[in-house]
Amino acid sequence: MVHRLLQQVTFWTALLSLDQELAAKARQAGCSCGGVLHRADFLRKPRGGPPDLPAEYCYRFSFCCNREDCRKRVTPPSVRFLDRKVYLHAVIILVAALRQGPTPRRVRELSKLFGADRRTIVRWQIFWKEQFPQTAFWKVTRGFLLPAVDAASLPLELLRRFLFGHDSDPTSGWKKLLLFLSPITVTGGLKS
């Protein structure tokens, strides 16, 4: 059962470490003005995961430049959060993928598993069908995926590509997929 993994805290802890690494890298790079970055996280109330997520899941890591004449905000890419969406990114991908294929999961069943209502699930399907294929990110990166991925098969085909061959440890495939998609999680990342 492909959704079981997302109900395990260990999966989300692994993603948290990855976000911590991405945040550390951004902090080390500092502000483009040469200033030092200080923590200035955004509060989040993430949905779709298990009830006992690590406390850090209440924060989307972000920084602010310490120079008074700059104060620029730097928000590193994330493998947990997508833009300002409240549901966790992996949930948005998985639920949309489970609605595809020859025997799509019923909306009612997915609502029960992940707590998202029908309208939200339909929004995610529209996001993958209409918004994501139009992003500059996809237009560039689709060229790296061989054989080519048909936009109509998103996001199911991405899951297949990244998780295939990782059957014994799908977490590593998920990490690769979420890292691959992480550029879309920053401000302007979904620009077309």
Q: Enter the DSSP assignment of 106.
A: P
Which of positions 8-47 make contact with Zn ion (CB under 5 A)? 31, 33, 35
Give least dist CB 61 to Zn ion, A. Answer: 17
Print the binding letters for residues 63-102 with Zn ion: x by CB under 5 A, - otherwise. --x-x--x-x------------------------------
Which of positions 113-172 make contact with Zn ion (CB under 5 A)? none
Give least dist CB 20 to Zn ion, A. Answer: 22
Give least dist CB 36 to Zn ion, A. Answer: 8
Q: What is the DSSP string of 139-191?
A: HHHGGGSSSPPPGGGTTHHHHHHHHTT-TT-HHHHHHHHHHHHGGGGSTTTT-
- Which of 36, 58 has the CB closer to Zn ion? 36
The residues binding Zn ion (CB under 5 A) are: 31, 33, 35, 65, 67, 70, 72
